[in-house]
């Protein structure tokens, strides 16, 4: 008991001295006629005010972040651009969804960071008001942070890579990507991992920090193409005219034009010369991830047109 009382007196004296240096606390103590317990009550009220102010600032910062995120997610209204008579509403809707997902993810990260900074500062301020030395605490936290940083380097690397991936909009949900370790459709994106599903239905979980290069096959728009090999003695001009007619028919198809194709198909002419054939190429710009369906329709129409014109396709396999 004799040991506790001197410590209590010392703490009381320190809090009274800190209260005198604080205009708010000293004013409160003056309202209480400067009784011996007045500095304690004043310090307690100041601590409560600090805690309330900390939570108010945290909620205010969260509201500001939410407004900024909502504005970023809905900014750049989905414009109905027209390219050669075709509305690109589908592309605009996908870009809007990607922008919304990216903004919400970054908003969540910013809210967590803001909470840690504001509440951490509030706790340190309260400890300082209680005359508890915070210098050793800050040193211990710094050492602990360094130790955790060394032990969780891969985790930190994954989070940093995920943040830059979202900021740069490298890929999003629904994109078909080649991530090196796996190729497939993106089903989920977090700051730590990317979940893919390949053509066999297999689900891949790829850590963002291990992705060194990404090939996005469906960002903005895609391209469907077909190489048409014909014999050397075939009528080059006639084959080109035939393929151009197929491209016009594909463009005239209202169902494909409104939902999948965004630009008139083109015939590039003779793409290459092999030892046994001339290879023509026909292409069509499509909505993201619609190139496979358009390619199948393109192959069917080209094969039907060649058969009708009695022009055989030549195998390019030795």
Q: What is the pLDDT of residues 112-139, one digit of tens each?
A: 888 888 988 888 888 877 777 777 777 8
CATH number of the CATH domain containing 230? 3.30.70.100
How far is the C-alpha of 266 from the C-alpha of 87, rounded, in Å? Answer: 19
Instruction: Tell me, yes or no, whether 135 and 190 share the same domain.
Output: no
Instruction: Tell me, yes or no, whether 143 and 173 share the same domain.
Output: no
The answer as to whether 83 is a domain residue is yes
Residues 6+ apart with CB under 8 A from 213: 180
Tell me the pTM.
0.55
Q: Which of 48-52, 103-107, 299-303 tops mean pLDDT?
A: 299-303
Distances (CA, A) of 48 to 32, 43, 126, 128, 205: 18, 9, 9, 14, 47
CATH number of the CATH domain containing 200? 2.30.30.60
Instruction: Tell me, yes or no, whether 302 and 260 share the same domain.
Output: yes
Is the per-residue pLDDT at 242 higher than 90?
Answer: yes
Q: What is the pLDDT of residue 16?
A: 60
Q: What is the pLDDT of residue 243?
A: 92
The gap from C-alpha 269 to its chain's centroid, in whole angstroms, comes to 40
The answer as to whether 21 is a domain residue is yes
Range of the domain at 242: 222-308
Instruction: Tell me, yes or no, whether 205 and 69 share the same domain.
Output: no
The answer as to whether 234 is a domain residue is yes
Q: Please, which pLDDT band fits residue 5 given cuts at 50, 70 and 90?
A: very low
The per-residue pLDDT of the chain, averaged, comes to 78
Q: What is the pLDDT of residue 216?
A: 86
Judge contact between 182 and 189, C-beta under 8 A: no
How far is the C-alpha of 48 from the C-alpha of 60, rounded, in Å? Answer: 18
Domains in the chain, number: 3
Q: What is the pLDDT of residue 18?
A: 59
How far is the C-alpha of 38 from the C-alpha of 54, rounded, in Å? Answer: 24
The answer as to whether 156 is a domain residue is no
Q: Could you report how far apart the first and last alpha carbons of the chain are, in Å?
A: 99
Instruction: Tell me, yes or no, whether 144 and 100 share the same domain.
Output: yes
The answer as to whether 158 is a domain residue is no
Q: What is the pLDDT of residue 300?
A: 92
Instruction: Tell me, yes or no, whether 81 and 198 share the same domain.
Output: no
Instruction: Tell me, yes or no, whether 183 and 300 share the same domain.
Output: no
Instruction: Tell me, yes or no, whether 10 and 43 share the same domain.
Output: yes
Instruction: Tell me, yes or no, whether 197 and 295 share the same domain.
Output: no
Instruction: Tell me, yes or no, whether 145 and 192 share the same domain.
Output: no
The answer as to whether 313 is a domain residue is no
Judge contact between 207 and 162, C-beta under 8 A: no
How far is the C-alpha of 156 from the C-alpha of 160, rounded, in Å? Answer: 6
How far is the C-alpha of 280 from the C-alpha of 298, rounded, in Å? Answer: 13
The answer as to whether 41 is a domain residue is yes
Among the residue ranges 20-34, 163-177, 264-278, the one predicted with the least confidence is 20-34
Instruction: Tell me, yes or no, whether 86 and 205 share the same domain.
Output: no
Checking 9-14 for CB contacts under 8 A at 24+ apart, the result is 11/131, 12/39, 12/40, 14/131
Is the per-residue pLDDT at 95 higher than 90?
Answer: no
Give the residue, 313 or 134, on which the prediction is more confident. Answer: 313
Q: Which of 66-70, 241-245, 255-259, 260-264 tops mean pLDDT?
A: 241-245
The answer as to whether 103 is a domain residue is yes
Instruction: Tell me, yes or no, whether 26 and 147 share the same domain.
Output: yes
Q: What is the pLDDT of residue 76?
A: 52
């Amino acid at each position: 008991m004799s040991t506790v009382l001197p410590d209590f007196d010392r703490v009381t004296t320190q809090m009274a001295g800190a209260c005198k240096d604080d205009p708010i606390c000293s004013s409160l103590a003056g309202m209480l006629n400067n009784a011996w317990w007045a500095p304690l009550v004043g310090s307690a009220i100041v601590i409560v005010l600090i805690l309330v102010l900390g939570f108010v600032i945290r909620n205010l910062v969260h509201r500001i972040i939410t407004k900024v995120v909502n504005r970023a997610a809905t900014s750049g209204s989905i414009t109905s651009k027209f390219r050669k008579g075709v509305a690109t509403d589908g592309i605009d809707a996908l870009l809007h969804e990607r922008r919304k997902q990216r903004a919400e993810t970054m908003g969540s990260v910013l809210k967590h960071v803001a909470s840690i900074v504001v509440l951490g500062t509030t706790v340190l301020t309260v400890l300082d008001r209680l005359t508890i030395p915070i210098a050793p605490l800050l040193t211990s936290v710094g050492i602990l942070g360094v130790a955790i940083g060394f032990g969780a380097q891969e985790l930190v690397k994954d989070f940093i890579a995920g943040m830059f991936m979202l900021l740069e909009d490298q890929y999003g949900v629904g994109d078909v990507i080649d991530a090196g370790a796996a190729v497939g459709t993106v089903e989920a994106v977090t700051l730590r991992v990317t979940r893919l599903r390949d053509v066999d239905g297999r689900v891949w979980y790829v850590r963002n920090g291990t992705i060194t290069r990404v090939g996005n096959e469906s960002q903005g728009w895609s391209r469907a193409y077909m190489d048409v090999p014909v014999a050397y003695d075939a009528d080059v001009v006639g084959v080109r005219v035939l393929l151009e007619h197929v491209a016009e028919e594909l463009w005239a198809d209202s169902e494909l034009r409104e939902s999948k194709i965004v630009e008139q198909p083109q015939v590039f002419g003779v793409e290459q010369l092999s030892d046994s054939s001339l290879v023509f190429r026909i292409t069509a710009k499509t909505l993201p991830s619609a190139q496979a369906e358009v390619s199948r329709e393109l192959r069917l129409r080209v094969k039907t047109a060649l058969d009708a014109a009695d022009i055989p396709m030549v195998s390019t396999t030795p």
